[in-house]
Amino acid sequence: MDPTGPLVSQPIVQIDGVVTGLDFAANGDLFYITQNGGVYRKAAVDGELQNDEPPRRLLQLAVAEGTETGLLGLALAGDFADSGHLFLFYTVADEAGAPAGARLERYTLQTNQLTAPVAIVTNLPATAEQQYHYGGALQLGPDGRLYLIFGDRNMLPEARDPATVPGSILRFNIDGSIPADNPFPGSPVYAYGIRNGFGLAWDGAGRLYETENGASCDDELNLILPGADYGWGVHPYDSCPYPDDTGQPPVQQWTQIIAPAGLTFYDGQRLPEFAGDLLLCAFNQSQLRHLELNEAGTEVVREEIVTVPGIIDPCRVVVRSGLDGWLYMANGRMIHRLGR
């Protein structure tokens, strides 16, 4: 590896469906999910992912699949190497295939199957009348808790009410119970006033960031603080640009929408120009964007569009810094990686 050499992009998996989440096991195995309910593993060989090693489908869930519903979140347990546990967030289908609830479940990997499903959170609202804005980004935090973006479901007043879960970032113990140190006692709500988001990531200092999609303007990158209000739910959809309000101000705001989706902080060695910095997918333009923050993590001091060799649409929903130093992302055709 020459960290000063030219950038290269390598295909890893040809995909069938929209990739909505991916994660890595400590041995290098890649796990990913598709919106239509598929859960897959691409096994590493001696710790390395090989282009010619086919993925294996571990599970096919029956989900309520729509434009913004389906299988939306994936996170491996911190003790995955021993327990085989992973977590999935998805919208449940009724007999007609429409949303009839949303849930968080734990599965156990047994050889090449996911077995022993345990529903750890089952009371998240989803209905046939509300098929948009479910968010779905799911991450295991550095504190060992599960964090989940649950969108406003187009119900603006609920997003501004910390007593309801829509329009919030939720925080759970890994058994689905509510942590005693959550900001609102007895509630999974960690932060609220959020329209719809597709990305969660922590920087090297342990600060949590979230991407949020605006309606017709004002997409945001937010620094998430426990108990904070991020302002969505006050103004109608047609009030663009949105007036200033009392919500927590964003770290970055895009008046011309880009639909920021997955994000990651790069912690590898193959791409030293990105060291410690944030990278995100801009869904509308299928771009990979690089953002450098100030030392306090409260302001973007530089933003650029990353040119990925040979691919004009590199990044749609997910991007992740790999354990091997490569930067992994997906478009509508494949999962591929960027590095040197």
Sign of CA dihedral 333, 335, 339, 340: negative
β pairing state of 146-150 and 168-172: antiparallel
Interior/surface letters 255-279, b for 16+ CB within 10 angstroms, e for the rest:
eebbbbbbbbbbebebbeebeebbb
155 is a domain residue: yes
Mean pLDDT of all residues in 152-165: 82
Paired residues of 131 in beta bridges: none
Residue 97 confidence (pLDDT): 84
State the total domains in the chain.
1
Backbone phi and psi for residue 272, each to the nearest 5 degrees, phi listed first: -60, -25
Q: What is the pTM of this model?
A: 0.95
Paired residues of 280 in beta bridges: 263, 289
116 is a domain residue: yes
Q: Which residues contact 142 (CB under 8 A, 6 or more apart)?
A: 202, 206
* DSSP assigned state of 134: -
How many CB atoms are located within 10 Å of the residue 285 CB? 15
**Lowest-confidence region among 21-30, 92-101, 139-148, 178-187:** 92-101
- CATH number for the domain harbouring residue 46: 2.120.10.30
Asked if omega into 55 is within 30° of 0 (cis), the reply is: no
169 is a domain residue: yes
24 is a domain residue: yes
Paired residues of 229 in beta bridges: 192
113 is a domain residue: yes
Give which of 212, 213, 218 is closest to 244, Cα–Cα: 218
Residues spanned by the domain of 225 = 11-231+245-257
β pairing state of 278-282 and 219-224: unpaired
190 is a domain residue: yes
324 is a domain residue: no
Q: What is d(CA 320, CA 12) in angstroms, rounded to the nearest whole number? A: 14
- What does the pLDDT look like over 245-288, one tens digit per residue? 568 999 999 988 999 999 999 999 999 999 999 999 999 999 99
* Half-sphere CA count of 161, side-chain side, radius 13 A: 9
More confident residue, 1 or 152: 152
- What does the pLDDT look like over 31-40, one tens digit per residue? 999 999 999 9
Asked if omega into 241 is within 30° of 0 (cis), the reply is: yes
Backbone phi and psi for residue 113, each to the nearest 5 degrees, phi listed first: -140, 150
97 is a domain residue: yes
